[in-house]
Structures are given as C-alpha cells and as structure tokens.
C-alpha cells in the first residue's frame, strides 16, 4: 500500500525502518526474475508477447486502461493498486503464462506512473511487486501442472471442475504476496489497525472481482477477441470502486478543513506509539493545543476568516513539529501533537512551549495582522496514563489548567484533576461530609506587631474517617471543578457568621475573613446573598472580610467588578490573597476594591535567605501603603522572619509563630487570653484599639 494522496497524507507506520530494507530487496528480486524469464523465453526462441488476435485485443485493452489512468490525473489509485491492471494480468496468466502477464502488469503500472515524473520510484516499486505477485500465481498454477505459454495456451475448452479452485488459489497468491510487499515496503495509510482491517476487506472484494472477471476475459479473448476492448468499462468501474472505498476510509481519518488527521486517527496512532514505547522502554507524549481567542475571531471576522486562521495554524504546527512528531486536528480550535518518543517530561514540556511560541508569532489574515495565543497541555506515557484514551484526557485536563492559569503550557497534575477514580470517590465523600458535619471550620489569627489581634481567617478542615486529614487544597480543588463549591461556600459563610454572632454576644468583636472562589464571585446575586446572611445573623458588614485572588478578574472582569462593588457597597471588606502569584498583579490591584493585601507565603518563607524575595516583599509593602492598604504576611514561622517583616513596615502577620488554625472553642479561649481575662465582657483589641 502507498501513502495517502498529496495534501491528505496520513503520517504513520510502525515499520518505516523495515521499508528501507524491503524496497531494494523487492526491486532486486523482481529484476532477477524478469531477466531470467526473458532470457529463458529468448533462449527457446519463443515470443515475448502474443501476436495473435487475442494478443492484439489484450494490447488494445491494456492501452485503454493505461490511457484512463493517465487521463485521470489523480493519485488515489496508488493506494490499493489498479484493480483493472490486476485483472488483466491474471487473465493473461491464465491464457498465455507468466511473462506476457508480467508485461501487461508492468505496462499498466509503469506507463501510468510515467505520466507523473515524481512518481517514478513508486512506479518502479509497483512494477516490481506485480512481477513477484504474478510469479506467485504462476507457481500455484504450475503446482497443478498448468504452465500456459504463448505457444501452448490454456484455453477454456481445457478447463475442468478443479479449475475454479486453481483460479481462486492463484488470485489469493497474487493478492497475499502483493499486499504483504506493499505493506512492508511503504507506510500504510496512517499505519492504523482500522485501516489494515479495511484494507483486508477490500482485498477480499478484489479477489472476488478478479476471480469473476479474469476467466470471462479469457473466454472472450479466445472466442471473440474483437470484443476485448469492451471489458474496459467493467475494469474501469472496478478501479473506481476501490478508489471510492479508499476515499471513504480516508475521510473517516482526515479533517476535511485542514487535511490533518482527526481524533480517530490520533487515538489509534497513539495506541501503536504507546505499544512501541513500552516495548522499547521509552516515553511517549501527547500535546493538546487550544487557541485562546478563536471564538472572538469567528464572532468579529466571520467563520470564513476563522477557517482561514485554522488553516494557517495547521500549517504552522506542521512546520515546527519536532522530528518524528505527528499532528492532528481534534475539532474546533483544538489540535494535538503526538511525540512517539521523548526523553523526559521536561523535554515534552519544552516541545509544547516551542509550538505555543511558534503560534504566537504575528500572522496576516486578509490584510489584518493577528497574534494567536494558545494554551497547551502535556501528558506523558507511562507517568500520566497507560493507554491512549487516558493520555488524551489528561492532556486535555492539563490544557485547561494552562488556559485557566494563563501560563501557556502545563503538564498534567493529578492533584488538579477532578475526574480520577480516587478523586471521584473523594467527591462523593465530600458531599456526605457536608451532610454529616465532618467538615469543620477552624480559625487562624492575624496579629499586629504591637500584639493586637487584627482578625481571624476561617479555614476549612476535614478529617476523613478512613483517609485521616485531607489537605484543604485537595478537597477545595475537587469542589471547584465539580460544582460543589457554592455549597461549600454557603457552609463556610453560614458557620463563620453564626460564630461571629456568638462571639459578639460574648463581647469578642473580632473580624473574620472568609475565602471565596472566583466561581462564587461570578455567581449572579452573590453580593445580595452575603448581605442577607449578615442581616439574618445580626452581624455588622464590617465584621466580615472576604478574601479573593486575582483570578476573579480573569474570566469575566466586568461581572467580577460589579459583584465586588456590590459587596463593598454593603460594607463588606475585601482582602486580596496570594498577592504576587497572579497573572498581572498591578493591573488587578488597581481595579479591585480591596482594603487589605496578603503577601503569599512563597515569598515570606525565603525572606531571610533570598535577597530577591526580600526585595519583592519590601516593594509590595511600599506599593500597598502608597495605595492605603493594610499588608498582612502569611506563613510566618520564626522570630527572624517576624523581625524582618516588622523592619520592612508590614502591618500584621499570620502563621504558626502566632498560632495554628484552631477549632471555634480553642479560638474562643485564645481570644479571651489575648484580651487579658476570661470574662465574656472583655473586648479583644482589633487593629491596636479596644473595640466594644
């Protein structure tokens, strides 16, 4: 079998290395066989081709078939070969023997190939394979004692009851050998099992067609040779049947817009690549690439421009593929790249970054210069998945992580995947835990450097009956990706406000901060819901502080801004958490209505040992103070860090040095102790002042 037509070439093949050795062997064997055959015929004084009326009829029929193939001017017949040429060769073999049959086959293959100069190597290979295939069929007939020649034709009058079996076995010998040699000497279409199975089915149909047509040609050649040219019609129809069958197979594996292979091809090719990688003890990787703003191109410029953009993107991906890599389009603006062999996860990540970088170069689209931004996810075998479907799904998860984080490229991280069996089980347990009260709210203090309590942060804790303590980052991530986050936020707000009301009744008027996710902020009516809860519990809005991250501004900035404005309008205070780890901190800091800024623990942890982190912290404090914001440092765990932050002008700290997160009862005792006495009428100092 040969490659797919130009412009629709399917990468593939697991035996490309083998084809380099098979091709010269086939050419050498066919040349030797043809030379020996010609010499033997000439040595016996025999003719190379019949000069009788049937011979001239065959010559005319062969000429018509060749003219048809040349006039067609297409490549499709290279895929499954020419059914008309095979039928002619088999009929010549039955009547005149091996050498005339070979000459007919060579005429069809080489003359049609000569019409395309770039096809000469393939034409020679086809001709060589047909020489050996016809020879195999001749050997089958010889095993039955039939050795037709120009001088001693095997005419239908001599056929017997066993002839049908001889014809069947001869046709099968021809087909099996030629198909096997085509398969070994060139990459199959896509190298896929589905294509191989379809090919075998089509070859069975070809065998039936050969069996039916070839004997009829012989009968007509002997009885009415002038009618032989009329067989051009069914033979050409036979060719079209195979071309159309191949086209349908290709259409199932090729994206019609870009000409790249599609999802079905990718999955089957990936299965083969993973099998090869496993046998070789190597890694393979799958990269999933998605355009970040393709919808806006469609909406603004129209779908025609969108299609042109996809074509340009496909060309760019194809032009910068690493050696051995294969690209596919999965649909919409999603593309995939298979790396059959990679050295490490890092090398796969580097390949993805190179592709994303190549796509980001400006391109001209109908006179308009566009910059295409893309996100890519990376999944590597065997680290991330053992099978093709799992690898594709996990590359998809990583791609969405890259899109959400605006990081460009992300490698699959199981902790961020909410669809693993273990995490799905944990999701069910989380739902049950909310119903049974396993989820608890602990409170961690924020303290000023003069000892006053600046507030408390409400933190979720879950002790699973079987797993033990489940890290908050793990189950909160599950809640965010499963749709359970609104219920979790409802529980935190309700519990925290209820505790605030009880503390206020005891004279402990300390503000409490609650973390809310971007999904909460983007929920319609969230500000009104918070205000209603405050009123129901009788808690002043200023006692509640909502901690948000910069990611709230990434998905829908206008909706987020409206929600935050509504919250601050009700009197709720806002705190910006994890400052410095977002996408564009300064831009968001200017737009967010926050009164407090929290420096992420990743900077605080190395404050005393890393001069760059120390400078970042200093600049952050100065910037926040210039904007009138209070600065809180997270993750303070030692005296040296405390002192350094105090010298830098930080307003408050939070961390194990002050106190770990505590249940409500322990927090109450801690607050009373800080207030200087156990009585309920004692007030807790907030921001350096006694509050009553």
559: domain CATH number?
Answer: 3.20.20.450
Mean pLDDT check: name the lowest of 250-254, 276-280, 576-580, 649-653. Answer: 250-254
Question: 279 and 161: one domain?
Answer: no
Contact 383, 286 (CB under 8 A): no
* Exposure string for 629-668, b = 16+ CB within 10 A, e = fewer: bbbbbbbbeeeebbebbeebebbbbbbeebbebbebeebb
Looking at the domain assignment, is residue 209 inside a domain? yes
Instruction: Give the domain CATH number at 301.
Output: 3.30.70.270
Residue-number span of the structural domain to which 107 is assigned: 18-190+197-252
Looking at the domain assignment, is residue 61 inside a domain? yes
Question: 146 and 286: one domain?
Answer: no
Looking at the domain assignment, is residue 4 inside a domain? no
Strand partners, 463: 469
Question: 241 and 291: one domain?
Answer: no
Question: 59 and 181: one domain?
Answer: yes
What's the total number of domains in the chain? Answer: 3
Looking at the domain assignment, is residue 417 inside a domain? no
C-alpha pair distances (Å), 597 with each of 400, 530, 555, 568, 574:
28, 21, 21, 16, 9
Output 182 or 226, whichever has higher pLDDT. 226
d(CA 289, CA 283): 20
Question: 241 and 272: one domain?
Answer: no
Considering only CA atoms, which of 613, 645, 652 is closest in space to residue 630?
A: 652
Q: Is the peptide bond before 382 cis (omega within 30 degrees of 0)?
A: yes
Helix, strand or coil for residue 31?
helix
Q: Is 381 exposed, middle or buried (0-12, 13-18, 19+ CB in 10 A)?
A: buried
Looking at the domain assignment, is residue 9 inside a domain? no
Mean pLDDT check: name the lowest of 483-497, 546-560, 625-639, 645-659. Answer: 546-560
Question: 302 and 175: one domain?
Answer: no
Looking at the domain assignment, is residue 517 inside a domain? yes
Considering only CA atoms, which of 567, 648, 637, 574 is closest in space to residue 613?
A: 648
Question: 169 and 277: one domain?
Answer: no
Residue by residue, DSSP assigns 167-236 as HHHHHHHHHHHHHHHHHHHS--STT-HHHHHHHHHHHHHHHHHHHHHHHHHHHHHHH-GGGGGGGHHHHH
Question: 404 and 457: one domain?
Answer: no
Question: 395 and 444: one domain?
Answer: no
Q: Tens digits of per-residue pLDDT, 502-534?
A: 999 999 999 999 999 888 888 888 999 999 999
The pLDDT-based confidence of 665 (bands split at 50, 70, 90) is very high
Looking at the domain assignment, is residue 400 inside a domain? yes
Output 619 or 43, whichever has higher pLDDT. 619
Q: Which of these three, 216, 232, 252, is where a domain ends?
A: 252
Question: 571 and 652: one domain?
Answer: yes
> Average pLDDT of the chain?
81
Q: What is the pLDDT of residue 2?
A: 32
Q: Tell me the whole-structure pTM to 2 decimals.
A: 0.50
- Position of tokens 């800091």? 589
pLDDT at 590 over 80: no
Q: Which two tokens mark 623?
A: 């910037």
Q: Which two tokens mark 26?
A: 């086939």
The pLDDT-based confidence of 5 (bands split at 50, 70, 90) is very low
Question: 348 and 438: one domain?
Answer: no
Mean pLDDT check: name the lowest of 32-36, 116-120, 227-231, 670-674. Answer: 116-120
Inter-axis angle of helices 98-114 and 83-96, nearest 10: 160
Q: What is the pLDDT of residue 4?
A: 36
| For range 437-445, the mean pLDDT | 93
Question: 583 and 441: one domain?
Answer: yes
Looking at the domain assignment, is residue 680 inside a domain? no
d(CA 461, CA 652): 24
Query: What percent of the chain shows pLDDT beyond 70?
Result: 82
């Amino acid at each position: 079998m040969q490659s797919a037509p130009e412009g629709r070439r399917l990468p593939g093949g697991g035996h490309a290395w083998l084809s380099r050795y098979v091709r010269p062997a086939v050419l050498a064997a066919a040349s030797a066989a043809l030379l020996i055959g010609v010499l033997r015929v000439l040595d016996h004084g025999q003719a190379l081709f019949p000069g009788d009326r049937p011979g001239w009829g065959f010559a005319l029929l062969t000429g018509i078939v060749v003219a048809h193939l040349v006039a067609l001017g297409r490549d499709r017949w290279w895929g499954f070969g020419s059914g008309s040429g095979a039928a002619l060769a088999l009929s010549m073999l039955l009547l005149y023997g091996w050498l005339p049959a070979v000459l007919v086959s060579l005429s069809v293959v080489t003359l049609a190939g000569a019409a395309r100069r770039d096809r000469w190597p393939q034409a020679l290979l086809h001709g060589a394979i047909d020489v050996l295939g016809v020879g195999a069929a001749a050997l089958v007939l010889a095993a039955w004692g039939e050795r037709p020649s120009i001088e001693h034709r095997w005419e239908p009058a001599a056929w017997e009851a066993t002839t049908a079996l001889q014809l069947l076995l001869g046709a099968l010998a021809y087909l099996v050998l030629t198909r096997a040699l085509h398969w070994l000497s060139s990459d199959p279409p896509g190298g896929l099992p589905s294509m191989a199975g379809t090919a075998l089915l089509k070859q069975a149909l070809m065998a039936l067609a050969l069996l039916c047509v070839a004997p009829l040609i012989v009968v007509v050649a002997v009885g009415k040779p002038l009618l032989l040219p009329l067989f051009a019609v069914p033979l050409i129809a036979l060719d079209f049947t195979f071309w159309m069958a191949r086209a349908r197979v290709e259409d199932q594996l090729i994206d019609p817009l870009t000409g790249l292979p599609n999802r079905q091809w990718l999955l089957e090719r990936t299965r083969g690549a993973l099998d090869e990688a496993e046998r070789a003890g190597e890694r393979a990787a799958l990269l999933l690439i998605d355009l970040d703003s393709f919808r806006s191109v469609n909406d603004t410029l129209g779908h025609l421009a969108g299609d042109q953009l996809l074509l340009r993107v496909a060309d760019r991906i194809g032009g910068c593929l690493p050696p051995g890599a294969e690209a596919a389009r999965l649909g919409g603006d999603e593309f995939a790249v298979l790396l059959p062999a990679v050295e490490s996860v890092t090398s796969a990540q580097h390949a993805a970054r190179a592709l994303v970088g190549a796509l980001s170069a400006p391109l001209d689209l109908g006179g308009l210069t566009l910059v295409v931004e893309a996100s890519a996810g990376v999944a590597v075998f065997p680290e991330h998945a053992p099978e093709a479907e799992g690898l594709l799904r996990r590359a998809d998860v990583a791609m969405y992580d890259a899109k959400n984080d605006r990081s460009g490229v992300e490698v699959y991280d199981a902790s961020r995947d909410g669809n693993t069996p273990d995490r799905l089980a944990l999701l069910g347990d989380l739902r049950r835990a909310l119903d049974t009260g396993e989820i608890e709210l602990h409170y961690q203090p924020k303290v000023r450097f003069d000892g006053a309590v600046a507030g408390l942060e409400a933190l979720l804790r879950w002790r699973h009956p079987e797993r033990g303590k489940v890290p908050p980052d793990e189950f909160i991530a599950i809640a965010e990706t499963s749709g359970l986050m609104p219920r979790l936020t409802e529980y935190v707000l309700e519990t925290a406000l209820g505790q605030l009301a009880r503390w206020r009744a005891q004279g402990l008027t300390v503000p409490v901060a609650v973390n809310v996710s971007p999904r909460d902020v983007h929920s319609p009516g969230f500000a009104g819901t918070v205000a209603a809860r405050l009123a129901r519990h009788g808690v002043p809005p200023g006692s509640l502080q909502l901690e948000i991250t910069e990611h709230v501004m990434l998905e829908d900035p206008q909706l987020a801004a409206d929600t935050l404005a509504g919250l601050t309008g009700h009197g709720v205070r806002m705190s910006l958490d994890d400052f410095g780890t977002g996408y564009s901190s300064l831009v968001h800091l200017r737009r967010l209505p926050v009164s407090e800024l929290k420096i992420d623990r990743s900077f605080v942890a190395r404050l005393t040992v890393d001069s760059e982190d120390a400078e970042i912290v200093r600049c952050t404090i100065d910037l926040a103070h210039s904007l009138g914001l209070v600065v809180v440092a997270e993750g303070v765990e030692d005296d040296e860090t405390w002192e350094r932050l105090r010298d830098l002008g930080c307003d408050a700290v939070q961390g194990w040095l002050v106190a770990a997160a505590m249940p409500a009862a322990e927090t109450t005792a801690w607050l009373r102790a800080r207030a200087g006495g156990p009585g309920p009428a004692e007030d807790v100092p907030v921001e350096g002042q006694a509050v009553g």
